[in-house]
Amino acid sequence: MSTTFTPCPTTGRAPVSAARARAVAGYRNLSLWTLQGWTAMFFFAAGYAKLTEPLDNLVALMNWPALVSENLVRGVGIVEIVLALGMLAPLVSWKLGRWPLLISAAGLTALEVVMLSVHAAGLDIGLALTNVALLAITIPVLLGRR
């Protein structure tokens, strides 16, 4: 018995089986969870550092804490920790829905864009590139989980 390849008339590709579609969805889900975990770990650690480190140490690592009040630096740390925990909210319960994850991903994306511009304006090239990498792992989560 021979099988013939009959491409789909609209796309020109062979139709995808249900098993293949489930496998692709599983890989996509695993990839998104991996990116969510990396993002959450980074921002939880960065927020914790902003909350616990003396301001002098933060100024030595980054230029912008010298230009703003200490309360703003500590507030950014709190926001980073809350948004990092929101990225992992579906682990607690899917009954919460996707909204905490989407709000956290959107908030972290906005924070990364703002900090990218701050680091680029301050000529902190290493930190600006770090924000570009963070955007590269946060935007797929935002788009993939919507």
Give the relative orientation of helices 18-52 and 99-121 as an angle to the nearest 10 degrees.
50
pTM (2 decimals)?
0.82
Distance CA 144, CA 31 (A): 10
Is the pLDDT at 2 greater than 70, yes or no? no
Distance CA 146, CA 28 (A): 13
User: For residues 106-127, b (16+ Cβ closer than 10 Å) or e, as one string?
Assistant: ebbbebbeebbebbeeeebeeb
For residues 78-84, average pLDDT:
97
Is the pLDDT at 57 greater than 90, yes or no? yes
- Looking at residue 35, its pLDDT comes to 95
Of the pLDDT bands very low, low, confident and very high (cuts 50, 70, 90), residue 84 is very high
Longest dimension (CA), the chain: 76
Of the pLDDT bands very low, low, confident and very high (cuts 50, 70, 90), residue 25 is confident
